[in-house]
Amino acid sequence: MTPTRCPSCDHELDASTSMTEREVDPLPGDLTVCLYCGAALTFTTDGLRLLEPQEIATLKPAEREQLDRVRQAVLDRIAMEVRT
Ligand SMILES: [Zn+2]
């Protein structure tokens, strides 16, 4: 995957940030979470864009649960780093 930047915090992201554990290039429409700011993102043909709130609302329950879990883990880690 071509390195790309988080549209929210501008950190460079690569495939290792993918929510799925697959070692394959993410497909457009796949979901991920920025490990630096917790933004919910979706892959496009040429990078990443923020997931719209109405898109999150229409995710399958299992997908939304996974997204929420990953975002919470990222936000917890960020909060911990701020404190230390
Ligand atoms: Zn970010």
Spatial contact of 11 and 5, defined as CB atoms under 8 Å apart = yes
* Model confidence at 43: pLDDT above 60: yes
Spatial contact of 60 and 47, defined as CB atoms under 8 Å apart = no
What is the distance in A from the centroid of ligand 1 to the CA of 40?
Answer: 9
Averaged pLDDT, 55-68: 95
Give phi and psi for 8, each to the nearest 5: -95, -50
Amino acid at 5: R
pLDDT in tens, 15-36: 554 555 556 678 899 999 999 9
Domain boundaries, the chain: 4-83
What is the distance in A from the centroid of ligand 1 to the CA of 62?
Answer: 23
* Model confidence at 41: pLDDT above 90: yes
Supply the pTM of this predicted model: 0.80
